[in-house]
Amino acid sequence: MKPPVIAPCLGVSDTQAAVEFYEKLGFTALSAGSDPDDDLRILLFAGEFALMVYRDEHLRSWLPVLKDTPVGAFGMFYLAVDDFDAYVERIRPLVTVQKDVTEHQGEKLFYFTDLDGYVIGVNQKQAR
């Protein structure tokens, strides 16, 4: 697995619940280390690194500058998928839709929130 240039780590209220939510959407969760008391999880999508999730209290302890930051964020993350229509159809009943399928500059987009309020935008993977 090639490491990403930027690796998002989302503070979540319940790591296990977040992992179960993302697994329903087709992600795979891996433990980030060997410490059983550390609940940091790496999430893969289609075998590639996507993001990390970490219990909010642990993240705030790790980086005290985040102590007053609420779970959820202003902004969004994008998930590029191989088959946009099939993926959106599969996950629609599992998520809270924030903006249904729309088209912007010829690209289809679909936005939902996860259990902690993070906004995920789904788009079609582009050929490199």
From CA 73, how far away is CA 69, in angstroms rounded?
A: 9
Task: Please write the tens of the pLDDT for every residue from 17-51.
Answer: 999 999 999 999 998 877 777 789 999 999 999 99
Q: Which two tokens stand for residue 51?
A: 């993001």
Place of tokens 């550390």: 38
User: How distant is the alpha carbon of residue 48 from its chain centre?
Assistant: 13
Q: Kindly list the structural domains of the chain, giving each domain's residue range(s) and its CATH number in brackets, ordered by start.
A: 9-124 (3.10.180.10)
Q: What is the pTM of this model?
A: 0.81
